[in-house]
Structure formats: C-alpha cells, structure tokens
Structure 1
Amino acid sequence: MGSIRVWGRGRGRRAAPYASLAGWNELPGRVRRQHAAPQRRSRPEGNEPAHERPRRTRGQRIRRLLLALFVIFFVIPVLLLGLAYWSAQVPAPDAVQSNQIATITADDGNTVLARIVPPEGNRTPVPLAQVPVAVRDAVLSAEDRNFYTNPGYSTSAFVRAARDNLLGRDDAGGGSTITQQYVKNAFLSSERTLTRKVRELIISAKMARQWSKDDILAAYLNTIYYGRGAYGIAAAARAYFNEPVPELTVAQGAVLASVIRTPALLDPETHLPQLTERWNYVLDGMVGMGKLSAKDRAATQFPQIAPISAFTDEAAHNANGLIRTQVLAELRNAGISQQEIDTGALRITTTIDPRAQQAALRAVHDTLATQPDQLRSAVVSVDPRSGAVRAYYGGDDGVGFDFAQAPLQTGSSFKTFAVLAALQQGITLSYPINSAPVTVNGVAVTNVEGESCGTCSLAEAFKRSLNTSFYRLAETIGPQAIADAAHQAGIPEQIPGIAGRTLSENGGPPALAIVLGAYSVRPLDMAVAYATVADSGMYHTPFIVQRVVRGDGQVLLDRGVPGKDQLPAQQRFSAQVTNTTISAMLPIAAYSNGHALSGRPAAAKTGTTQLGDTGANKDAWMVGFTPSLSTAVWVGTARPQAIRTSGGAPIYGAGLPSDIWKRTMDGALSGTPAERFPTTAPSETEGPFIATPPSTQQSHGPFDILAPPTTTAPRRRTPVPAPAPAPVPAPPAPPRQVEIFPGLSVPVPR
C-alpha cells in the first residue's frame, strides 16, 4: 500500500495515500495537491533516484555556441587559408610583364589616334647594391620600419593605421608592409575587397619565406609608382632630379620615399608644403631607426626639384595629342586612376569619327595654308543625338595650347541664344524690331555701314545680324534671360581654370552686351549648345570616350550600357522653341557668302568680334548644324591682334571660318543621307515683317559683320574626301599566363 507521509513544517497536516503510475508508492518530490490550500513543492530527497532528464544550464549552452563559432570562424578559415597558402605560387620579379601600353582608337576601334607609353614601359631595373643605403633607409622609414623583421605582413601596422585614421593623423605610415605593397602592385588590382586582401596576405607571407628581404626590397624599388609617370626608382630619379640612382643624396632619397604614399597629392609643383611635411617625417623616422644622426638630420636641406618634363609620345606632337589630353581627363573624371591607365594595357575607344576628323584637319590646313602664319583655328564637331564628340581640333601642337578649350568672345553667333530666350517669353519670329542706331553711355551701337531695315521682323534681323535690333531685343527680354538660355543650351556656368561664373559681370547679372557676344565661351561649348538646338531642345553631356577595356578583358567603362556609364539626356527647351529657331537659321549659311552645304539643309550663324576700338577684328566664328552633326569653327590668333587674310583684308565669320565649316561638314557627311529638320507651326515663322527684303548694303560694325564687303563671287568649296584609315599593325603575341594563386594569373613574356 502507499505510505502516508508528513507534509509541511509544523503543520501536522497529513496527505491521503494514492496510487501512482509506478505503483502505489509516491514518486519522490511529488504530492497530491489539496483543494483546501495551495501547497509548496518539496525538495527531492537525496537518496531517491531522479527520473527526469536534466536540462542544460545557461553556461552549457554558451559553451556549445562558442565552440560552434570557433569552428566556423576560426578552424574552417584556418584550414582554407592553409590550403590556399599551400597552393599559391610566387614567380620571380623579373617574370612579371611590365610593359603596359594603352592604345587610343577612333570609334571604329581600328584607327589608332595615339598611344600612351608609360615610363615603366622603358623601365631600367637597378640592382639593390647600386641604391645608396641612405635611400633604402628612407624608404623603410616612410613605408615599413620593421621590414627586415616582419613576416611579410604586420598586424600591428593595421592596428596603428586604424588608430591614426581615427585620430586624424596625416603623417603616419600605412597599414601595408613593403612586401604587401609589392604584391598588390605586381600581381593584384587596387580594388578594396576582402578577397583581394586575403590574397595579398597569403602571397606576401609565402613570398617572405621564399625570397630574401633584399630581393623583395629590390623588386619593390624597381616597380613602385613614384608619381610624374615614373615607375621604378631609376625613372623616379630622372623625373625628380635628373640624376642616376647611385648619386642620390639622403635628402633626395627622402623625397622619393615621401611621394610613394600618395604621388598625386605630394607632387612638389602643386603640393610642396604637404611634401615638405612628409619629408620631415621620413627624416625624423630615420633618426629614430638609428640610420641618421641628429647632427646630419639638422644639416639636411630640402633638395632642388627638376621641372616636369614634356610627354614623349609622338602623337603628342600633332593634333591627336590634344585628343589624348581630353581622353585622359575624361578617364580620370570617370574614376579610372592614373595607375590603371599606365599599367592596365587599356584599349580606349573614342567617339572620334575618322572621316569627320580627317575632314576637319584638311579643312583647316587647306584653308589656312596660304594665309598668315599667326592665324590659328579650332574645330569641334558633336553628334546632337548623343553628345559624342566626332571631330576635335585645337591646334597642331599636341602639347601646346588647346584652342578648342580657349574662352573666346563669340560675337553674333551668341544671338542664337537671344532668339531662344525671346521665343521662351512668347515673342515670335514676326516680332517687329527697330534697327535704328542705339547710343549706350555715349557709345554708338551700329550695324554694318549704317545698314538698317527700318522696322523688320526678328527673323530678318537675325539673318542680317543687325546689332541694333538685337540690342533692343536684349532690353526687352533682359540680358539674364539670354544668359539663362545659353546655360540651358549647354554653355557651362564654370569653365575649368577660369575664375568666376560665365556670362556674368563680375559674378553679377550680365550686361546688355551679352547679346553681341561680349562674354567668353569655348568652341567646344558652342558646338554642344548648338547641338541642343539641333536635337529639338534635348541636351546631351559631351563625351569623347566610348569604351575602355583592360588588357585582360575587363571592361572599365562602356557608354553604351544604359543606366551604368551612359550619360543621361535632358529636355532643356521645348521642341517648338528650338524648331522655330532652326527655321530662322536655315537661310544664314547661304546668305553668308554662299556657304550652304552640298545637297542638305543646315542651320548656322556667324560671329565676329572687334579688337577693342581699333576697328579691326580679332575673332571670327561659324557655328552650324544638321540633324546629325553640330560643328563650331573659330579663327583667330594666339594673342589678341588684328586678323587679316594674306591679301590684307579683315577676316569675318562669313569668310575663312565659314570656308572651314563648309569643308568640314561636307567631308564628314559625304555619303550619308540628307536629313531634314522638323517642321514648325506657321504662326511662329510667318508674320507681317517676315518677308522684308534683305538689304544690299555692306559695312563694318563694331561686333559682327555677317556679310563682309566683297567684290568677288561667293566661294564654293569642293568637299575633300577623307583618306582611308591607316592599317593597324598586328598585335603582339599574348604573354604566357602563370597562375600564382587559385584563379589569379600573371603574364610572363614568352
């Protein structure tokens, strides 16, 4: 029978016996609950066996979790790293191909425009024994003071770099050892990813075991980038001091060691204070390392730096050199570093159309061949539907001044933006404007030889380029509206290298003279702005680089990929406004001494600016377009002076610039369909003053002369066909690939 137990302390209450699942005996620690009052659970007696499975304690659960994390995050990675370390192969430094020439081609991918041959292509390896010990010590002081004792990587350096970044110290060393830096530059890319860092650590650790420290240091000094296009210490010694490596001094060696960290930000010509600070840090480090005495440190003076030498690529000495400069600038703006340009064996496909480029070159050379030597010209052609630069000429000196980027007064070619602004305000082409002379602050604004149409339509005044009529138009619509329309069309608000805002009077609102082209604009910008008009008000950001591919096939840039590298377009004007403007521009090319294009319509505007109050001209323009090509042409001189033909006659926009424009456009568009412009509503182009007959008078006005005096018949030029593209030499045999890491190979010369 079940036993009767006493429950409770001092209460004398007894519980009735009951049958349990195990028999009539109660389980230890269990008792029947009484209905009279709640009872407390008793502790199990020590001599009775437990029948329940014990639960894990919190400590046991934590230990099991820590063990699992240890296996996942330590044991498995260590095994994987060990496998990767065992499989990694480290080649000799001289087995790595260093000649990485970048090629710039036209849009066909075959016509070579220029090549970028980095100095490392002619790198001269220098044995470590020829590098002065003081120079070696300076490099160690700057980059890795524990180089000869660390295992190829440094945990403390990573911690120190993180600490210095948090504290904002700019003069501390980086987190990578010299071995790691060499591995990254010789075998890996500069991408900031965990995979790349792991590869760097593994190869560095194995290299430190297989190579001597002197071998690693020699390879590092001969491959690292020092700025100024110098790869290797021999090129750096020439670039900064015009000295051979064995003759470098302590001070010079400290300069070279200083620039390794960030060459672009420590160049002596642009960042001398920062370089001097870094130079002092390197020398102080040498004292701390025991490699330089305090006395010698105090006597060391900052050395004299040689000026930057000119680029030696042969394309830089012709017109294509300026294209190369624009390509390099666009690559940097796209995030492609100088190191990638110099070491990536890039294939750079530009937007340049070989036929259009040749047409521009021949137009300039043939037109100016018999003219005074001081005359200069610029020609830029842009595709209105994309913003792609199809032809670019800024001069024949590839390292000289680029006139396509020169801010120049535009004369009456700027009146196009006044027409756009007027149409935006509801003024139509039939709007009547008085063309009588205007006096402003005692200065008379006149037309060519006092020409006047009385009161004629805006369209007629535009065709005749009547200064007085447009000055009155500017008073009506406001000069700021003209500036705004020009900015909308594509004239930038800031020109690189030029202080202040464009189209403004000392940063304030523009003067009324803006309508006569008094403010400076670049030929490139005029071609782009007119292209916006040609594409019914759609603005496209200009670009000259279409695609960039590394030698290993990796695509760095592709403008043809929507949503990635493709530049977005913006509707800046309504199609009605631009198409109406085009209709007013259509007669001007033929009206300007017969420069209509062969077999196709074209909208255009000339411009001429005066040399002070001398009565002579200094800048002459012709800017015009078809639906598929917008071209701006400027003719002038390097320094402001009177521009005259070989016969002594003044040069006007309707003269030599129009000759060049017609030859360029006819040559570039030869063999292509003749496209028509969109039609415009009659109400915008027809009115009581639209049919006013043009005047036959000729004269010389102060800002622009659309049709200069001439006694000869209008000249018509025969289009010059573009020569066939030169054959491209066969590419060299590809180098043999050696795998140094699973999935990572380096080229080795055959």
Structure 2
Amino acid sequence: MGRAEERRARQRGGRRAAAHGRRSSGAAGRTGIRRLFTWKKIVGTFFGLCLLGMGAFIVLYMMIDIPEGNADAERQGNVYKYSDGSLMARKGYNREIVDLARVPKDVQRTFVAAENKTFYKDSGVDIRGTARGLLNTLSGKGAQGGSTITQQYVKNYYLTQDRTVSRKLKEMVISLKLDREKSKDYILAGYINTSFYGRGAYGIQAAAQAYYRVDAEDLTVEQGAYLAALLQAPNQYDWAIASDTGKRLAKERWNYVLDNMVEQKWLDRSERQGMEFPVPKEPRPAPGMEGQTGYVVEAANNALKQQLVEQGTAEDMNQADALVDAGGWTLTLNIDKKKQAALEEAVKKQLTGKLDPEARDVDADVQAGAVSVDPKTGGVVAMYGGVDYVKHFTNNATRDDYQPASTFKPVILAAAVDQDAETQDGLPITADTLYDGTSERPVVDDGREVGFAPENEDDRNYGDITVQTAMNKSVNSVFAQMGVDVGMDQVMETAGKLGMDVEDLPAVPAQTLGSMGASPLEMAGVYATLDNHGKKTTPTIVKSAEHRSRTITMPEAIGEQVISREAADTVTSVLTGVVDDGTARRAVLENPLRDGQQVAGKTGTSDDNKSAWFTGFTPGLVTSVGLFGEDDKPPHKQVKMYGAGGQPRVNGGGFPAEIWAAYTFGVMDEVTEFDLDTKQGAAVRPSGTPTDTQTPSGTPSDEPTSQEPTTEAPPETPSQTPTSEPPSQPPTSAPPTGTPPSPPPTFGIPENPEDPQDEAEE
C-alpha cells in the first residue's frame, strides 16, 4: 500500500472514531431520551390508560350488582307509648324508620342543602369527589368529603365504612346503578333513615326525639337544618357536649345549610334572616327496662306475638318472636301514666315499704302482682309486675302458678244464678238461700256423699247462714256444696266464659276452693266481665300496633254477653257485702279516702298462706291484687308467707285489700254507684227481708269498730241479739237435706271484722 492510500485509511478511521465519540456524548444521550418520551408516546400512553380504566370500569359495572341491603343499617327498635301518646320506653336499636312523606318538604331539603346541592340533578356520583377520595386513600391521608347523598346511602346501607379502594369503587358503581333504578325520594328516605345523628339515635325520627322531643313530622326548618348539620360530625356538634369551638362550628354549619337553601330558592331570604339557632334539649337516658317498664313491655310484646299468630302473620310463636324482636314496631298501650304511677306508689306504701328482709327472712319471699282494667273498654290501665324487672324477671301480674283461692267463689254464684240452679231440696239459689256452714261438712249430691268435706277458716262452724253471709265471710263448706248443686261441669264452663283458662281442668268439687292456677290479669278479666253486666271483657294491654311493612288489627276487648245481666249484677250486689260487712271491711270500708264510693270485691287466701288476693271493683275500675310466697333463692319454690310484714298470716283483706284501696280511691275522679238489674244481694233490698229486729247483712253499722284487729277469728256477733223466732219472711230455702236443724240466720256486723275470717283452702 502506498503512502497516499495509508493516509486516506487513517483519515477514514479517525472520522469513524470521532463519530463514535460524538454518539457517546451527553448531547447524544439527551437525544435518545427525547426519542423514548416523545409527546406522541405520552399522549398515547395516557389514552391507553384511560381506555384501560374505562374498560375495567365497564367490566366492574357489569360484574357488580346492587347487593342485598345491610340488615344492621335498617335495624330498628320497638317504641312503647302510654295511652296519651307520650314515650314509655324504647327497646333495641334506637331507630324508627319513617316514610319520607311524614317528613316536611322543607326539612327534607335541609339535608340536600347540607350534603349535596345537585342531588336532584346528578347521576348519583361525584366524579371529582370520588377521585379525590381515592387519591387520599392511596396516599394515606384518610377520607374527605365529596360523596353524594346517593353514595353515602350506598355506604350506609349496602357496604361498610371501610376506607379501601375496592370499597370506593364498589360504592361508585352501585350508586350509578341505584340512581338509575330508584327514585330520588327513595334514596333520600334511605339516607335520612340510616344515618347516625349522635346520642345513640339512628334515623331522623330517633334524632328528632333525642334532640327536640318531637316526631320527625313536627320538625321545623331550623331544627331540620341542625340535624342535617350534625351528620358531618355528630359528637363534635352535639350542643350538650360540644366545646366552644364545636358550638361555633355547629352554628357555622347550620348557617351554611340555610344559606344553601336560599341559594337553591328553597327558602325565602327574608324568612331566613329571621331564623334563630334552635338550641337542642338536654340529652336524657333512653327509658330502659328498669322498674315496672320491663314487665309492661314484656306483656305488650306477648300480646302482640299472640295476635300475629292468630291473624296468620306468623305461623307459630317462634316466628312471632322473630318478627317482634326484629324491631320497627310502635306500640301504643292502654297504660294510663297517672294510674300506673299511683299503683306503683300504693304497692310501695302499703307493702314493700313495710317489708324488712333483714328483720324477717320471710319478707324477702313476698312478691306482689296487680292489674287494673277499665271494664268499659277492657284496657289494662296499670300493671305491677314485681319489685323491679331487672331484679325479678317473672311478671307477677301475668303469672298463673298460684291459686286464686276464694276469689273464685263469685264464679260459682254466677253460674248458679245464670243457670237458675237449685239446692238439693229443689229451691232456687239466691243471695238469701240458707246453707249449712258447718266446717268439714261432707258435700252431698242426690243424697250421697261425694268424698269432699272442706274445712272453713280456722275450722269455724257457722251453722245455717245465707249465701250473702257465706260470701262475706268466705265460708268454704257453703260454696263447695253450691258447686255440686249447680253442677261442677257448669261451674267450670262459666269460669271459662268469664275468662279463666280452665279448659284442661277436671270438674271436681275441690275446684270450688280456687285450687287451680290463675293470674291477676286473668282474675281482673273475670271481675271486669261481672262489672260490665256479663259482657265478656278481655283485659287488653295493647291499644294499637304499627309497623311500616304490615298492618296489625288488635282484637276487640269487649265481646258478647256470656252470662245474663241479672246473674252478673246479682254477683256484684252480693260482693258489695264483702267490703261493707266482711273480710275486706277494715281495708276498704274504713278507708277515709272512700268518700262513699260503692265497691264490690272478694278476698282470697290459699292453703298454707302461699297466696293472698283481693280483687275488687267500682263501676269504672277493676283491680286485682295478688301476693305470692316465692323463695328468693333458686329454684324459687312456692313458700308460706306466715309472719311476713309482722303479720301472723297474710290474708286477702290485709295487704292486698290495702293496696287496692289506696290505689283505687286515690285515682277515682268522682263517687259512683252500680247500675244493677237485680233485687238480690247486699247492694239492694233483699228479696227475703229479715225481721225488723235484725240488721240486713249488707248494711254496715253506723260506726265502724274501733277494736284493734286480732289474729284469731272472732265469733259472728250480730248487732242485735237474735230471737228464737224465725224471720217474718223466711229465707228462700232450708239447709241441705240430711243436715241437722240450726238456729235461724243471724245478720249484722261482727265486733271485729278482721282478715282471719278469710279462708284457708285445702
């Protein structure tokens, strides 16, 4: 190779080396980056990602359906109201879902003004707000506002409160679908009913009550604006617990809501300027189940469940339990607030305030139950179930495991008069019929002994006495014989007609002593039917029951005529003698609050003093009071009450009658008299009038005895010494066949008409 060729070769190699060096320089590198990130590539990538996102969203939209609602989001409690509509208690979740139509339109708009002014126009989603929420979630900054009312409702009802990207995406998809499928009113109603407002209140109805003591339908615009403002920060804005800063922010939010309403032309500017901040009422604890409330609520729930089964809404009691426990019920009861308080006070003053378990162990074993009924409507106006529902769970007002004892005796007389029954000698049974009151006298039927010979109280013999006197003094032997005379099948049938549950009980003479089980509620119904002139009166505690998803019609409390008016009124007339000249005289007749009020009633004391009763009535109020001996230690067996309250024996004419009198005379508005369609008994002129030297059994002495009560049954002492001559108009029958002749009946008031004349059933 020549020199010229070598030089040219070197020159070519140098240029190539120089070119290589230039490509490796910084300038060359920058040129490569520009080629990698050109604007075309960036725009293409952006649109590609957008298309990918849109595709993914379309897939999500197709895959995600509107799920079943969250049951907890609509879980409600039950609301219980007194007869006047005032709140008695809430049980369960503090939410009561209301239809949007019950919320004033202006109040509805306060929530839209507070949370989502474009609610009525948007598609259910705020894209910018949702994007901001996603970015905040990804960056760990937490959630911020921006969601529509639809999205918030979806979060409350269909999803959870979790702050995740997946939950936010689901919220957006479901909101879009929900907005297409449901009306705006449906969504708004769901939103205001599922939101939490503080003070334990879920939904606008509970919030209205919690903050302003009104129903949602009675809210003002100012109050609605405050409730709408609360949703941003319920605890911080609660006026009762807010700091100064919290109060300032609450007012600012309240003003913001109202100003938005003016902006949307939902509120007149001049009206807005005249509005003042509605300071909420102080919070108060939700009425619980303590005291008597739990007993009343339990009884109301049981009545509702029974009706759900009877009308076919529930297949059985288990399903009825589930329906009631699910909540959403508003029960207005027949309970009268004034009478309820008076009954509780009467029990406290006349019984529990006198019991001292530390001094007497037996005092801890005394349980009281009582039910008061309006005989014209059947409404249970007051109920006492025990010392405290959270301490003693058994409702003594509805329990039926204790004997009603001699409070059953009027049922026997009712059957006798209603059926025109006769004695063994074929004479009509009336208030003046003579019976042999000898203790342990064998009961006979058609001349044959039936194997039953009950003992009277303290084994006392009365000789031949009238039915009226036998009722006054609760003579077992007389009513045992009367039951057989009437026919025990007929007696038990009459008991069922009057309201007792005797379907599966044997029709035997021992039932005349009230040896079956019964509750104060049951006995109040029996006596209410008597008071209502023989028309079946069923004690009813629930006045009305309302639920958004179903309609419940409560049964009629007043039914058909189950015994004749004459029979019912005759028994009522006879029972006036028990309080004027019998076992309840001291507690009732001598009560200074009576003021001449006419009263009928019957005492009862069961075998071994395990229960004691007084069921009595005026023309407008029937109340049954029972005392029950129950061991205060598990398993809570029935026990005797001898010595309780410092009394040798707890009789129906003692604590029960005293409770009855204190309550009844304390709540009566006027003095009334019975309208009786009968000529028999202590309340009217007897058909068989004693001689002028004798005092009728229904007429009390001018001055009640001042002698202190004794624990022994006194002899029956007439107001005047009887002669050996018979009355000018003899009683309508003679003693039962086979009994020895006895002196004529005596009439009058014993010197010491005290409780020990009451009965002791075997």
TM superposition score normalised by structure 2: 0.49
Larger Cα Rg: Structure 1 or Structure 2?
A: 2
Whose helix fraction is larger, Structure 1's or Structure 2's? 2
